[in-house]
Amino acid sequence: MAGDGLAEFAERQPARIQMLVAQHDVAAARQPAGKGQDAHEAAGQHLEQVLVERFANRDGKSRLLAHLACERGDQQSAWDFARWLSAILRAEGEDIETTERDGAVIVIQTGWRVARELALADPLKAFDAWNELWLGAAAAHDRFLAVHTTRTLGERGWSISWRIAPR
pLDDT (tens digit per residue) in 2-14: 555 544 544 444 3
- 163 phi and psi, to 5 degrees? -100, 115
Q: Are residues 132 and 63 in the same domain?
A: no
To the nearest 10°, the Cα dihedral for 135, 99, 67, 149? -10
Domain that holds residue 44: 2-69
Q: Are residues 85 and 33 in the same domain?
A: no
pLDDT (tens digit per residue) in 89-145: 999 999 999 999 999 999 999 999 989 888 999 999 999 999 999 999 999 999 999
pLDDT band at 147 (very low <50, low <70, confident <90, very high): very high
| Predicted pLDDT of residue 30 | 46
Q: Are residues 87 and 7 in the same domain?
A: no
Residue 148 has pLDDT above 50, yes or no: yes
| Predicted pLDDT of residue 9 | 44
Q: Are residues 60 and 135 in the same domain?
A: no
Q: Are residues 37 and 62 in the same domain?
A: yes
Q: Are residues 45 and 95 in the same domain?
A: no
E strand segments, 58-130: 95-101, 104-110
pLDDT higher at 72 or 101? 101
pLDDT (tens digit per residue) in 18-55: 333 344 444 444 445 555 555 545 555 565 666 555 55
Domain end (from 69, 102, 118)? 69
The answer to whether 75 and 55 are in contact (CB under 8 A) is: no
| Predicted pLDDT of residue 116 | 87
Cα distance between residue 141 and residue 125, in whole Å: 25
Mean pLDDT of 61-83: 74
Please tell me the total count of domains within the chain. 2
Q: Are residues 85 and 8 in the same domain?
A: no
Q: Are residues 90 and 158 in the same domain?
A: yes
| Predicted pLDDT of residue 104 | 97
Q: What number of residues does the chain have?
A: 167
Q: Are residues 59 and 91 in the same domain?
A: no
Residue 161 amino acid letter: S
| Predicted pLDDT of residue 17 | 33
Q: Are residues 95 and 157 in the same domain?
A: yes
Cα distance between residue 31 and residue 24, in whole Å: 12
Domain end (from 25, 47, 69)? 69
Q: Are residues 155 and 87 in the same domain?
A: yes
Q: Are residues 149 and 87 in the same domain?
A: yes
Domain end (from 69, 86, 121)? 69
- Residue 166 β-bridge partners: 145
